[in-house]
Structure 1
């Protein structure tokens, strides 16, 4: 019996050799023994064909179905590997793109502003409906002193831009924070509107999973998801 078994094993090994199937696994492959690779599948398939009942052999359809199932699984694994590689490349691209924003100004919701490199402050606010009057005021964020006020007049529905371009020289120090308040009359008297301010990007970074978006460190506003930025100056 042992001679027959040895002969069978030898014949099976000869088939594996002809098919280029490796029966020797590395330590790393053995450690991940919960996964079947292509060689494992072909070994099982060959053993199944060798040991099938000659009077009731495997149907062609069953054989093809097994091959198709393995091909599908193998294809999915390859797609996953490609997606992981693509995700890593996308992460690098996001970082490179975010890095180009260093020193630029991006639009973020908030009321804190500082004069930019040109000594100006720019921002927008959104009106849910037309306003008969609108106003923007700039005050010292520390003392509350009124620095500048500007009537923007009637405005239509949607985004309304505003700016303070003739900021006095003594106020152009970037270390001085200025608070921006916007109000508008949409039929119920002057009401406060939430502005968005163009603020300077200080740095860009990305952490964790490759699918995580790059983040921007924006002056006075901290860390912001780069994918949420819609406007740049």
Structure 2
């Protein structure tokens, strides 16, 4: 008599887990064919135990359900990834803000961003530093309640000279001479292009002057 429990060997293990893996590997149609063969060839004087038979059916249902669930998750993941790609592509040419203490000064524009305050402060100061570590501008922002405080640097240093375009470090502090508590800064940059990535990877954005960032790093679209 053909014994359906021989399926355990297909999974390389014994017991229900081995049978379940074997069924997933061979497919539900093969399993049903073997089950039918077992019923046709069973000994009338010693029929298949009903409990064992129902257990085999339950294993088939479980294995098929897992396969369908995996397929559904794969389809959902692919759909979400496609949606992310479309969202990322729609940002090309737009300005976004990301959490970064580096900002980019365009040739004929300003460097802007936001200071995120957890609570109210006095004497908020935004400091701009060049690549050599030299302070080129300090902007006194005054007192502010908690929340987001926007800032914009016109690219002019303390002597009134226009600084060259490029990357600058931005810091925000509250206290005497800007030496007190520091705060998180987000800076704005233009999205130049999108990297779609390899299969299974999420798209990333290439920001002007800031390089590559994940779509999840974007805090605001302007």
Instruction: Report the structure, 1 or 2, having the larger strand content.
Output: 2
The alpha-carbon deviation at position 36 of structure 1 amounts to 1.3
Moved more, 154-163 or 222-231: 154-163
For residues 222 and 115 of structure 1, do their structure 2 counterparts lie closer, same or farther at Cα, with a shift above 3 Å needed?
closer
Q: How many Å separate the matches in 1 of 2:45 and 2:211?
A: 75
1:46 and 2:36 are equivalent in the alignment: yes
1:207 and 2:192 are equivalent in the alignment: no
**Deviation sequence 1:118-153 (CA, Å, 0-9, x none):** 83332112234432211123455468463x443211
Q: How many Å separate the matches in 1 of 2:149 and 2:104?
A: 20
**Deviation sequence 1:142-179 (CA, Å, 0-9, x none):** 68463x44321112234322223x557x8497x44444
Q: How many Å separate the matches in 1 of 2:29 and 2:130?
A: 72
1:196 and 2:168 are equivalent in the alignment: no
Partner of 1:70: 60
The alpha-carbon deviation at position 61 of structure 1 amounts to 4.2
**Deviation sequence 1:212-231 (CA, Å, 0-9, x none):** 32211122322211122121
1:1-233 map, 5 Å: 35-115=25-105, 119-141=109-131, 144=134, 146=136, 148-164=137-153, 171=162, 175-185=165-175, 190-210=180-200, 212-233=201-222
Partner of 2:19: none
Question: Which structure has the bigger radius of gyration?
Answer: 1
Secondary structure of the structure 2 residue equivalent to 1:152: strand
Q: How many Å separate the matches in 2 of 1:35 and 1:140?
A: 61
Secondary structure of the structure 2 residue equivalent to 1:224: strand
Secondary structure of the structure 2 residue equivalent to 1:198: strand
The 4+ residue runs of structure 1 with deviation greater than 4 A are 115-118, 139-143, 170-173
Secondary structure of the structure 2 residue equivalent to 1:43: helix
Q: Is the contact made by 1:142 and 1:177 (CA closer than 8 Å) also made in structure 2?
A: no
Q: Is the contact made by 1:104 and 1:200 (CA closer than 8 Å) also made in structure 2?
A: yes
Q: Is the contact made by 1:214 and 1:227 (CA closer than 8 Å) also made in structure 2?
A: no
Tell me how many residue pairs correspond in the alignment: 197
For residues 172 and 201 of structure 1, do their structure 2 counterparts lie closer, same or farther at Cα, with a shift above 3 Å needed?
farther
Q: CA RMSD in A?
A: 3.3
For residues 199 and 80 of structure 1, do their structure 2 counterparts lie closer, same or farther at Cα, with a shift above 3 Å needed?
same
The alpha-carbon deviation at position 73 of structure 1 amounts to 0.9
